[in-house]
Amino acid sequence: MKKRGKGLASAFYPTGMGGGGDFTNAMVKIKPDGSADLITGTVELGQGSGTVLPMMVAEILGLDYEKVRYSHSDTDTAAICFGTFASRVTFYAGNAVVKAAKKALEVMFKLAAPDLGVEPDRLEAADGKIRVKNQPDKFLTMGDVAMKGFYETHEFVVGTATYGRPKAIPDPDTGACDPLATVAWASVEIEVEVDTDTGEITILDSKSVYDVGKAINPEMARSQVEGGAIMGMSWAVLENLYPNYPDPKHQPRDFSQYMLTTAMDIPELTTEMVECPSTDGPFGAKGIGEMTANPPGPAVVSAVHDAIGVWITDIPITPEKVLRALEEKEKADALTS
C-alpha cells in the first residue's frame, strides 16, 4: 500500500562567524577606458560571488555589469578576505566592495568637480558618466575622469575598504552580547509517498520559502535554494557514508558506491523569496548559502511520520528502516489493542 504525507520544517541561520571577528577587504579601481576592477581575496566556489559582487560595484558606480572585472588572485597579492564559509560572502564581502566603490566615486567626484563647475556633492554616477544632479546633459565620462587622474593630477582612482564586526564579548555580569551579524529564515514543506510493502520513499513535491534580505541576483538565489533542497532531500533518503556506523565496514569508496540523488529523483520544486532587508547588509542582503540544505531533511522525516505514523529520525530513511519501524508499530498496536 502507498501512503502519502506532508511535513514542514523551519530554520534560521546566522551570517558569518558567531561572535564576530571576521572581515573582508576590497579594492575598486577605475581605469581610463571607463571600466572598473574589483580586487578582493574572496574565493568563488560556485556560490556566485563572481557575479553578485561585481553587480554591487556596477550598481554603485552606475556602470554596466560587463564593465566590472572581478579579480580574486592569490592571498599574497589580493585584498584579504577571511574566507568563503559561514554563508558570509554576500554580506561581508558585499559590504566591503560597496564601501570601496563609494570611495572610488568620491575620488572621481573630486576630480570631475572643477571641470563641471560644481562642488563634488552636486555630482552623481550613472550610465558610465559622472554628471551634475538634475542636469544629465552636463557630464564627463568615467574614462575621461580616470584619464585626468592618471595623466593630469597623477592620482590613482581607487577606493579601498574593509568590512567586519568586532568580537562580541559577553558582558561579565549578565552574559549579554551581540554575536550575530544578521539572521535569515526559511520554511520548507515536503510531500512524500511511502510504499508500506517495500519501504521505499518517493519525494513528490518540495516547497521552499526563504527570507533572503535582498536577492542581489534573484535567479542565482533561487538556484541556490533549489540546490540546497535537492541536497537536503538526498541526505534524508539516500546518502550514507557510514552505513554500519561506527563500524567502517562497507563504507563507500567512490561515487559508484555512494547513493546520490540524480535528475531522475528530483521532485517538483517551488521556491519563493521573501525580502526582509537586513539593516546592515549590502542593499539589505543576508546569507542563505548553507542553510538551504538544513530544513529539507526534517521536513522529510515529518512527512514520513504523517504518512505512516512512525518517527524515523536516523537518516537516511532507508526502506529497511521503514519496514522495521512499521513492524515495531504493528507490535506495539497489537499490545495495546
For 164-220, the DSSP string reads E----PPPTTT------S-EEEEEEEEEEEEETTT--EEEEEEEEEEE-SS-SSHHH
Domain with CATH 3.30.365.10 in the chain: 2-14+181-336, 23-164
Say yes or no to pLDDT of 246 above 80: yes
Q: 210-248 as b/e, with b when 16 or more CB fall inside 10 Å?
A: bbbbbbbeeeebbebbbbbbbbbbbbbbbbbeeeeeeee
Mean pLDDT of 201-222: 96
pLDDT of residue 41: 93
Could you say which of 119, 189, 290, 328 is catalytic?
290
pLDDT of residue 30: 97
Catalytic residue flag (residue 152):
no
Neighbours of 302 (CB within 10 A): 19
The answer to whether 244 touches 250, Cβ cutoff 8 Å, is: yes
The CATH number of 2-14+181-336 is which of 3.40.50.1580, 3.30.1130.10, 3.40.1710.10, 3.30.365.10? 3.30.365.10
Say yes or no to pLDDT of 75 above 80: no
pLDDT digits (tens, 9 = 90+) for 139-161: 999 999 999 999 999 988 999 99
Grid cell in block for residue 329: 508499530
Mean pLDDT of 298-302: 98
pLDDT of residue 21: 85
On whether the 23-164 domain is CATH 3.30.365.10, my answer is: yes
Give the mean pLDDT of the chain: 94
Mean pLDDT of 10-23: 90
Measure the CA–CA gap between 327 and 334, rounded to whole angstroms. 11
